[in-house]
Chain A
Amino acid sequence: MAIELKMPALSPTMEEGKLSKWLVKEGDEVSSGDILAEIETDKATMEFEAVDEGTVGRIVVPEGTEGVKVGTVIALIAGEDEDASAVEAPAKKTEAPEKTEAPEKAEKAEKAEEAGDSQAKAAKSEGGSAQLESEVQPRKDPVIPAGTNMKTATVREALRDAMAEEMRRDERVFVMGEEVAEYQGAYKVTQGLLDEFGPKRVIDTPITEYGFAGIGTGAAMGGLRPIIEFMTFNFAMQAIDHIINSAAKTNYMSGGQMRCPVVFRGPNGAAARVGAQHSQNYGPWYANVPGLVVIAPYDASDAKGLLKAAIRSEDPVVFLENELVYGRSFELPELDDHVLPIGKARIVREGSDVTIVSYSIGVGLALEAAETLAGEGIDAEVIDLRTLRPLDKQTVLDSLARTNRIVVAEEGFPVCSIASEISAICMEEGFDNLDAPVVRVCNEDVPLPYAANLEKASLIDAARIVEAVKKVCYRG
């Protein structure tokens, strides 16, 4: 029986990749440890090694193929007693889509099936990150001038472009962090910056968050414009003293003399199957601190426009990205200088029956929920807060005044959350406009578990938002 070589998942979030290069050809003898191919993921180009011994029988997916789904058979290896030239791919498994899945998910699964990819479907349905996916696009931001040419870009590209443009514009701007330079970014966000700006301005650090966060903060005090990348915000816990005690408080403590224009950025929130220490949304932590600006964008346009604004700000900014959103594509305006205002929420879907407030990855889920609700006759407005501090209360309260019902959706712990804050604001300042109590939809109040089923149960999803909206609308 021939051994099937399947497209491997080479990162926790990888769903597909490019088969860049075969390093073996049909008929080659391979043994375990031999490098068979180079595979490009969304983050890096990886080498794919043989595990079994045998002869390469057939290469099923030719090199240069893009978008090869994880689990797709890419080659067949004949065992010792087999005739390598005769190996054939096993018959395509036929498997009915699970009846229990939501219709849209079943459709996705079918698509995967068509690609000869039963494995991919299995991988997709496990874990909680799948339920954080969304394909619904926010409506176009009305601040983008009519007639602006739009291109499709990933959030990752938008962030990179924002940094590159600001570095071209201002000599004082530099990027510092772990693997930002030669590795091209642990999540490829700083890809290409070293080539353009050189090692003076794109600086790899040792794995010492406390130290380099302090150096970045000190450099800002000394007049530079540092962008400090944390590989993830989980690791920024080692450095939170500098973010809060050194960066946030100095302007006030110095009576406005000593500014600290630093940007701390990196992925925040749950990723895929990485367990509790790598999966937390720190938005509420930073949003608690006067002296900081906290931004958590969702789509590519906001990521770019707000990161540029953050770099230009005279204040210390915590810029919270999301690993699961880096690879998502959105419309991005082709403007020479796309800078958006900090502290302004954005209505990403207009509606009249109920308001769903969210930010970061939750926005996609809120939009998904709104689509579902539309099918059931509930017209939901979706607000992306974008900036968590200072919070744009007015946009939320204005929307509440129109819809009289509000749900807050947040991928994060429920206790002392942004959702809690929004609830308090609505109660204190919008009480007369409330026709139902504010409902929070957050992750479960437990450290994020590793096991796929438990992870899935812990994380927010669109269905829970739908349920909450029905509750505030008193609909069954």
Chain B
Amino acid sequence: MPKVKTDARPGGESAGSPAADDEFVLHSLQQTHAADRRYKASKEELLKLYEQMLLIRRFEEKAGQLYGLGLIGGFCHLYIGQEAVAVGLQSALDGNRDSVITGYRDHGHMLAYGIDPKVIMAELTGRHSGISKGKGGSMHMFSVEHRFYGGHGIVGAQVSLGAGLAFAHKYREDGGVAMAYFGDGAANQGQVYESFNMASLWKLPIIFVIENNQYAMGTAVNRSSAETHFYRRGTAFRIPGMQVDGMDVLEVRKAAEIALEHVRGGNGPVLMELNTYRYRGHSMSDPAKYRSREEVQGVREKRDPIEHAKAELMELGVDEAALKNLDKRVRAKVSEAADFAENSPEPDMSELYTDVLVERY
């Protein structure tokens, strides 16, 4: 029988196996990851990841407290429950050349990057010693020194901006990779797909990270998204997807390494969906009536990333006392940050008109 000529690419969907198309690697990263899901961490490595997650948890709990006391104003979005995502992914990055950008739920990403908790907390309280001199607030924090490019308050904007960071890496040929985090809500924004298209077309070195915490503010994913398997959303742009358990820091780390290898190899972007969960409301003012207390409690009890890592550490022979000490240390660090943030002065009035423009005209 003669073959019917079509426009379909060889090895397209009808051909069954994606391996039939050696160009088309949509599923290969997922397969690689499935074959070897978890990073084999040494005790020391896991302890470090655990400590970072714990720092984020305690920091956010304290931020929630300070918000309740009126020391933090406006919007404040906590990262509690999602710690393994930022910590696992960023532990795989090269701090000297890679860049990170995220949305408004940004405290955790900054802490995972090793930015001093004091200047983050002081920004939350709107003080002069805050990382943005008190002029940005919770949603708008940056550290060019750490290649952390924000902290953006407009849902989805960081995806295009992140593609721009990746463009700069490629333009300069500096070997860096941009990592752009966004949520399941932002994943429905139009500019995300404009950016997917250009990033794939130009083979930009970027990892798109969808932190699927199951709710876009108060709207559950199945009420807002026609395709709730977000890792498939890059398929139309020939961007390989990976679905990752975002509650397991070692699985996140392993997935990050696989994605990074692909991107650093000049193969263009990767889309990772990290399935996670936020324990708190969307922001401090959200009573979270759209989900049951049992649902939250269930995740806390069965999937908590920190408890999970703790159990694993104990299996590796770390004793309870050592972990208690570590917790103490972390709490002390957070208290110190809170004291600093409370006691720092507000910005001087002379700062009102500074930094509007860089130059004088």
Contact = CB atoms under 8 A, between A and B. Distances in A.
Interface of A: 174, 200, 205-206, 208, 210-224, 226, 241-242, 245-246, 250-259, 261, 290-291, 293, 313-315, 341-344, 387, 390
A217 B191 CA distance: 13
B135 A255 contact: yes
A311 B134 CA distance: 30
For the complex of A and B, 7 pairs with smallest distance between CB atoms: A218-B164, A214-B160, A211-B194, A343-B361, A222-B168, A255-B133, A218-B161
Given A211-B195, A315-B357, A315-B359, A258 B165 contact: no
15 contacts: A205-B198, A211-B195, A214-B191, A215-B161, A215-B198, A217-B160, A219-B168, A222-B99, A253-B137, A254-B132, A255-B133, A256-B355, A256-B358, A290-B356, A313-B358
B79 interface: no
Given A251-B356, A315-B357, 9 more contacts: A206-B198, A212-B194, A218-B163, A222-B168, A223-B172, A224-B172, A251-B358, A254-B140, A293-B361
B154 A245 contact: yes
B194 to A, nearest CB: 3
Contacts of B110: none
Nearest to A174: B171
A343 B360 CA distance: 9
Contacts of A208: 191, 194, 197-198
Contacts of B361: 293, 341-344, 387, 390
A94 B354 CA distance: 67
Contacts of B164: 214-222, 226
A214 B195 contact: yes
Interface in B193-215: 194-195, 197-198, 201
B226 interface: no
A246 B161 contact: yes
B93 interface: no
A215 B169 CA distance: 12
Q: Which of A214, A219, A221 has the most CB of B within 10 A?
A: A214
Given A218-B162, A219-B167, A293-B361, A253 B191 contact: no
B190 interface: yes
A258 B149 contact: yes
A78 B195 CA distance: 55
B358 A246 contact: no
B151 to A, nearest CB: 8
A219 B195 contact: no
Contact of B167 (A213, A222, A258, A342): A222
A222 B169 contact: yes
A224 B171 contact: yes
B140 A223 contact: no
A225 to B, nearest CB: 10
B136 interface: yes
Nearest to B202: A203
Contacts of A206: 194, 197-198, 201
Chain B: number of interface residues, binned into ranges: 35 or more
Interface in B156-181: 157, 159-169, 171-172, 178
B144 interface: yes
B143 interface: yes
Nearest to A249: B140
Given A222-B99, A291-B357, A210 B171 contact: no
A252 B161 CA distance: 17
A205 B201 CA distance: 10
Contacts of A259: 358
B142 interface: yes
A242 B130 CA distance: 25
Nearest to B145: A257
Given A208-B197, A255-B132, A218 B167 contact: yes
Contacts of A226: 164
A259 B356 CA distance: 10
A211 B140 contact: no
B282 interface: no
Nearest to B204: A215
A214 to B, nearest CB: 2
B131 interface: yes
B191 A210 contact: yes
Contacts of A224: 167-168, 171-172
Contact of A258 (B150, B162, B169, B198): B150
Contacts of A250: 140, 142, 150
Contacts of B191: 208, 210-211, 214
B232 interface: no
B357 A251 contact: yes
Contact of A219 (B144, B157, B171, B356): B171
Given A255-B355, A256-B358, A291-B356, A211 B165 contact: no
Given A210-B194, A214-B163, A216-B164, A254 B358 contact: no
Contacts of B99: 222
B163 A215 contact: yes
B118 interface: no
Contacts of A220: 164
B152 interface: yes
Given A200-B171, A212-B194, A221 B154 contact: no
B345 interface: no
B153 interface: yes
Contacts of B160: 210-215, 217-218, 242
Contacts of B190: 210
B133 A222 contact: no
Contacts of B140: 250, 253-254
Q: Which of B169, B171, B195, B354 has the most CB of A within 10 A?
A: B171
Nearest to A203: B202
A213 B132 CA distance: 24
Nearest to B201: A206
A217 B150 CA distance: 13
A128 B172 CA distance: 47
B197 A211 contact: yes
Contacts of B136: 253-255
A82 to B, nearest CB: 48
A241 B167 contact: no
A208 B131 CA distance: 34
Nearest to B133: A255
Given A208-B194, A217-B161, A253 B132 contact: yes
Contacts of B131: 255, 257
A309 B197 CA distance: 33
Contact of A212 (B133, B159, B198, B357): B198
B358 to A, nearest CB: 4
Nearest to A247: B161
B44 to A, nearest CB: 33
Given A211-B197, A251-B355, A251-B356, A221 B153 contact: no
A241 B191 CA distance: 11
Contacts of A344: 361
A48 to B, nearest CB: 33
